[in-house]
Structure 1
Amino acid sequence: MQHIQFSSGNLTADRRADYAKMLSEGGDPVAAAELMEQALELAPDWPAGWLRLAEYSEKAGKIEATTGALRRVVALDPQDVFAARLKLAVLGAEPMPEQPSSRYVEALFDDYADRFETSLVEKLGYSVPGKLTALIDEVAGERRFRLAIDLGCGTGLFGMEIHDRADRLEGFDLSANMLAKASAKQIYDHLGEADLSLPAERSGLFTEGVPGGRADLVAAADVLIYLGALDNAFSLAAALAAPGGLFALSVEEAEVGQGLELAPSLRYRHSEPYVREALADAGFATRRVTRSVIRTDSGRPVRGILFLAERRA
């Protein structure tokens, strides 16, 4: 977990920013943006402040000011921890990145860990772990797994579903805080930090003396929506899976077209043809596909696609 500077370091600027936030929450984004501009005159190198200005400007309908503020965030925040590039893409001001910044995803879930299960399961009706396990049951029956690997394990929700069927269960995640929550469940035989956007040798999934091709179940439950392009993640899954091993995964379903799209939520959506092709390219044969509502977002159902594939020999 790395610290993110939400304060400007200038007391007067912070006070003006706090008042701007109150104005925005009170329904006056125009005044909020004007006051935020004054704060940034005192702290011009404050990326979180420029992000706030972008938010207020967008609420005020000032799109040019919004994109200008976001571009300032990009210049000040090369690791893109605030996801300014994704926001620019959603506004149509920049091309869609094929994947988000790992620092953004790490910070998002480090911050979210304490309230993750309450928010996602109890409030948003998140159902992927149970539905993915049911899909595995349809194809594999009562088969036991010598080794199951839970990619993007989060707090361990899928692990809770599958651990009684696995002789050994390993979980990997980018967020240290999420891994701490998963560890507290005491269901994993091994937990480790890993980045599915990186090549195998840098991903954290493979260590010296531990062979690849060893898992008879690999799962990626609701993690691919934070990855975008899937070729690298699927290559990693293929390197982990034994011949005949299963790969269970979920995506949010693309609303338009046959490929990859970025939603206003800053999550990626994937079409069935896109996922099928990426699986085949990585050496998997698709065995089963099902569609379902996987959660709600702002009171609306989010539709997803669940896949079960098999590693070809």
Structure 2
Amino acid sequence: MAGSRLSLRGGLRAGALPPAVRLSRQADALAADGDPAAAVPLYARALAADPTLAGTHNNHGNALRALGRLDEAAAAYRAAIAHGLDEGMAHYNLGSVLRQAERRVEAEDAFRQALALRPDHAEAWNNRGNLWRDLDRFGEAAACYRRALALRPEWADAHDNFGAVLYLLHEQGGTEEAAELARRWRRDHPGNPLARHIGAAIAGEEADSRAPDDYVRQTFDLFAEEFDRKLAELDYRAPALLAGLLTGEKAEGSLDVLDAGCGTGLCAAALRPRARRLVGVDLSDGMLERARARGLYDELHAAELVGFLAGAPGAFDLVMAADVFCYFGVLDEAFAAARTALRPGGRLAFTVEELTPGDDRPHRVATHGRYAHAEAYVRAALAGAGFELRRCDHDRLRFESGEPVMGLVVLAERSAS
């Protein structure tokens, strides 16, 4: 989060402003227009003329931080405080840039001071939580995020941070602590989709039959900007595995193809040569924006998948769903809708995470919020929806926390009847 910018106020006419104040205001205008590089030398000239301008030191710090000059920004914030700007926001700005510079002990001192001066500052609690998370002190981080959410109950970023740190706390071995915090999260925020879904998963409580649409939309809107990079780091293979599954299938550009849950469009390159018409559908506008930038789709739709499929009878020859049905526990409705959208002989290609062998449940939701499915259940659900199974491969979809995530890579055909 960018630092707060302070305004210089006073009753002087513009022509009567002291030179330092005039320069500072010119720099503020440049910074506000998104040109910190031009603002910095003007701030420096203003402060050379009058080093007591505390607000100018603060705004100088913001411009330096925007340029990545973090140590200089920290020095500017300290100067602002030393010259009288001893209030919560100045210490918050200092803590934020120190955390960014990985000067974590100093950052904690700054956040502590910021919150002593302004205990109702949700952003400071959230960023202090981020600092504790950096240090793998997940319990302290969770406490900070809870405080942020008590102050700003609808803040999506803080909910996302809280859910992520509960997952990390659980994975670190703090199972009971994470479960108790998750139960409180659900109690305190019953209408929040992340609290409802991830909270249930971590608390070990009964989950919905599928992830709530609001949860999926919120999660991927927040994740969209870094989605492709993160999946590359996890060696994400689902699109490539599904493309391999289709080797030998018709690929002369004659098919009407749906990329179901298309995300940022990672499957588009493999699907485009097969398609006379390539359609993508996803809940997340943020993901669709990046899919659109690929320039490979004929149509993109922001819609809930089952409703979209059910509303397009006989529209497609191929439906591909890479890591989409892992947000469904019960698959019957989704498979039935896919059959509706396919023409006779049409293909459904998809991946799901595979339930741990020995678990006798048909599916379960894991602490990260995705469902895993038993192979026998997937086979039965496909048959019940009117599909004939053509292939069901077992393969690694990606890594998670350094461990392979195994999945089912499935190709099914809609029966003619």
> What band does the TM-score fall into relative to the shorter chain?
0.7 to 0.9
1:2-21 paired onto structure 2 within 5 Å: 11-21=120-130
The answer to whether structure 1 residue 169 and structure 2 residue 270 are counterparts is no
Instruction: Point out the structure with the larger strand share.
Output: 1
The answer to whether structure 1 residue 156 and structure 2 residue 156 are counterparts is no
- Aligned match of 1:6: none
1:74 CA displacement: 2.5
Q: Distance in 1 between matches of 2:322 and 2:142?
A: 39
- Aligned match of 2:288: 179
What runs of 5+ residues in structure 2 fail to find an aligned partner?
A: 1-117
CA change 1:213–1:73 in 2 (3 A) is same
8 Å CA contact retained: 1:228, 1:268: yes
Q: Distance in 1 between matches of 2:227 and 2:161?
A: 24
1:262-301 paired onto structure 2 within 5 Å: 262-301=365-404
Match of 1:88 among 200, 204, 210: 200
Summarize deviations over 1:122-157 as a string: whole Å, max 9, x none. x1111111211111124x254654201110011111
Q: Distance in 2 between matches of 1:249 and 1:186?
A: 23
Match of 1:228 among 319, 326, 329: 329
1:26 CA displacement: 3.5
CA change 1:51–1:133 in 2 (3 A) is closer
- Aligned match of 1:120: 231
8 Å CA contact retained: 2:261, 2:324: yes
8 Å CA contact retained: 2:239, 2:266: yes
8 Å CA contact retained: 1:284, 1:309: yes
- Percent sequence identity over aligned pairs: 34
- Aligned match of 2:239: 129
Aligned length: 292
8 Å CA contact retained: 1:170, 1:190: yes
8 Å CA contact retained: 1:70, 1:84: no
CA change 1:285–1:182 in 2 (3 A) is same
Higher RCO, Cα 8 Å, sep 6+ = 1
Q: Match of 1:222, SS? A: coil
- Counterpart amino acid of 2:186? V
Match of 1:243 among 323, 344, 355: 344
* TM-score, normalised by the number of residues in structure 1: 0.80
Q: Distance in 2 between matches of 1:83 and 1:128?
A: 28
- Counterpart amino acid of 1:151? A
Q: Distance in 1 between matches of 2:192 and 2:365?
A: 16
Match of 1:43 among 151, 168, 176: 151
1:88 CA displacement: 3.0
8 Å CA contact retained: 1:145, 1:216: no
Aligned-pair RMSD on alpha carbons?
3.2
8 Å CA contact retained: 1:79, 1:103: no
8 Å CA contact retained: 1:194, 1:205: no
Q: Match of 1:248, SS? A: strand
Q: Distance in 2 between matches of 1:181 and 1:285?
A: 34
The answer to whether structure 1 residue 257 and structure 2 residue 369 are counterparts is no
Q: Distance in 1 between matches of 2:325 and 2:175?
A: 33
1:206 CA displacement: 6.0
1:34 CA displacement: 6.3
Q: Distance in 1 between matches of 2:135 and 2:332?
A: 45
Structure with larger Rg: 2
8 Å CA contact retained: 1:172, 1:205: no
- Aligned match of 1:4: none
8 Å CA contact retained: 1:51, 1:70: no
1:17 CA displacement: 4.8
1:81 CA displacement: 2.7
Summarize deviations over 1:230-284 as a string: whole Å, max 9, x none. 1121121111100110110111111023510222322111111111111111111
CA change 1:274–1:26 in 2 (3 A) is same
- Counterpart amino acid of 1:220? A
- Counterpart amino acid of 1:131? L
1:215 CA displacement: 0.9
Match of 1:216 among 313, 317, 320: 317
8 Å CA contact retained: 1:225, 1:268: yes
* TM-score, normalised by the number of residues in structure 2: 0.62
CA change 1:22–1:280 in 2 (3 A) is same
1:193-208 paired onto structure 2 within 5 Å: 193-196=302-305, 203-205=307-309
Instruction: Point out the structure with the larger helix share.
Output: 2
Q: Match of 2:286, SS? A: helix
